[in-house]
Amino acid sequence: MKLYNTATRTKEDFTPKDPKRVRAYICGPTVYNYAQIGNLKTYVTEDVILRALRFLGYGTYVVMNITDIEDKIIRESKKAGESRHEFTEKFLQAFLEDVDHLGIERPDHIVRITDYIDEMRIMIQSLLDSGHAYLADGSIYYRIANFSDYGKFACLNPEHMHAGVRVHADEYEKESIGDFALWKWYEPEEDGDNVWHLEFTIDGKTVSVPGRPGWHIECSAVNEHFFESEIDIHFGGVDLVFPHHQNEIAQTEAYTGKQFARYWIHSAHLLVDGKKMSKSAGNFYTLRDLFAKLADVGERNICRAFRLMVIETRYREPFNFTFDRVRASVSTLSGFDEAVRRLGAYTPETEGVRSEFRDAVQDAMGRFVATLEDDIATPEALSVVHEFVRFLNVEIDARRLQSGEKRAVLDFLRSVDAVFGIFDFSLLDAVEIPEEILDLARRRDSARGEKDFARSDALRDEITARGYRVIDDRSGTRVEPI
């Protein structure tokens, strides 16, 4: 299998240290607000990649951090009149809800970084001892001049070098403009649960350095705790390449003297209507915003459509979000749903499996695997599935499916969905609704869409009179026998 490694800018053979336990780390969210869809796109991408690895036979062990101390958290929790812990807990729970809504399989560990202050202290002390860090004006900085590979990871791309100019404009006193804070001095009004009173040994003397962690040391410390700083895959959004991931490498590798991550996988940006998403541009959305703006689509369908949209795009290519695209994806999904429903309702008339049918399923599976093994080429994997569903519909139309074939189709679809997470297999047990009732339900839907409630109520009554009920819930509108 091949994966594109940001560290080398090439597609490489994937050779984890232990294929039975691929150690992966995900830079998680900073919990001061609801997650925006750009970040959620990154987490869905990572979920699809990890599911693909498991489908291909690897075992995975995955850790994600939650950044629960940071300037914006301090400011916003103060505004809300809550302690940092209370404030971040709310948004941590909201994030986990989003994760579950989106069908993201939870990492083995999702951890608050403030539970790893001691690991940070030990790393920072070691960096001080080896001359990679220094104390200035109450903060401890990383000295990039002493890490000879500094910039190698990020600066191969001139775009990232450019970003470097921007990020270093901060107000702290330091030796070099590129040096970054490992441990930050605190303002007295920030006290409470925002400050840790740590002691360090500097030049043989014990020095008290109250403060809070810098952003980059958090991830290095969590990786040290769970993986002894040696992992197979480090995930993140492409915006984290510099400075965050460059700085993680500098800290960790200066601390351990060995390679930190073997593969770095970055998910490309999300755009909205072809533009960068930002609050000022008025195109900034959370999952809750999508639920509100697309209430008629239903939460479950929005989440499945979002996953489908992620799958339709190569993870390294920009992802363009539009509301029209959500609706188009919902209609694609209803095609898949219809195929599952028809398969469930289908009773084979003969036992057995035709050899050409077995070949067709094996061929589809072989191509599905091959696309995933080529740097997780999900759009190509998806077209294999589309083709297969078309083939399935033809077989059902012709009433050719035999019993073993129905089972083979189900096995194939379930395997595919272990990676994609977009199918609704509950429809296999759905009872077939007569076409005339479905027609009444569709007419009722359009009456509702036109806000003609008198007509939609009348149609509902008619459906009820014929022994069916209409259900409108999170997954949309459906009809069931009474």
What is the binding site for Zn ion (CB under 5 A)?
27, 219
What type of residue sits at position 465?
A: A
Q: Are strands 22-26 and 231-237 parallel, antiparallel or unpaired?
A: parallel
What type of residue sits at position 81?
A: G
Q: Report the chain's terminal Cα–Cα distance, integer Å.
A: 51
What type of residue sits at position 322?
A: T
CB of 446 to Zn ion, least distance (A): 48
302: nearest Cα among 338, 333, 271: 333
CB of 164 to Zn ion, least distance (A): 17
CB of 112 to Zn ion, least distance (A): 14
Please name the helix (run of DSSP H) or strand (run of DSSP E) that holds residue 133, with its range, or none: strand 133-136
CB of 248 to Zn ion, least distance (A): 6
Nearer to Zn ion, 237 or 476 (CB): 237
CA distance 325 to 331: 10
CA distance 159 to 365: 39
CA distance 110 to 99: 11
CB of 25 to Zn ion, least distance (A): 8
Q: Is 189 exposed, middle or buried (0-12, 13-18, 19+ CB in 10 A)?
A: exposed
* Angle (deg, nearest 10), helices 323-345 and 299-311: 100
183: nearest Cα among 240, 132, 124: 124
How far is the CA of 255 from the CAs of 234, 274, 418, in angstroms? 18, 42, 38
Nearer to Zn ion, 41 or 448 (CB): 41
CB of 244 to Zn ion, least distance (A): 6
Q: Is 436 exposed, middle or buried (0-12, 13-18, 19+ CB in 10 A)?
A: exposed
CB of 142 to Zn ion, least distance (A): 15
Nearer to Zn ion, 231 or 339 (CB): 231
3: nearest Cα among 58, 43, 40: 58
Provide φ and ψ at 16, rounded to 5°.
Answer: -65, 160
Nearer to Zn ion, 95 or 368 (CB): 95
Nearer to Zn ion, 114 or 329 (CB): 114
Sheet hosting strand 261-267, strand order edge to edge: 109-112, 60-66, 22-26, 231-237, 261-267
CB of 198 to Zn ion, least distance (A): 21
127: nearest Cα among 109, 106, 142: 142
What's CA 96's distance to the chain center, in Å? 12
CB of 219 to Zn ion, least distance (A): 3
Nearer to Zn ion, 142 or 357 (CB): 142
Nearer to Zn ion, 64 or 479 (CB): 64
User: Diameter of the chain by CA atoms?
Assistant: 87
Q: Which residue has the tokens 């107000």?
A: 171
CB of 24 to Zn ion, least distance (A): 13
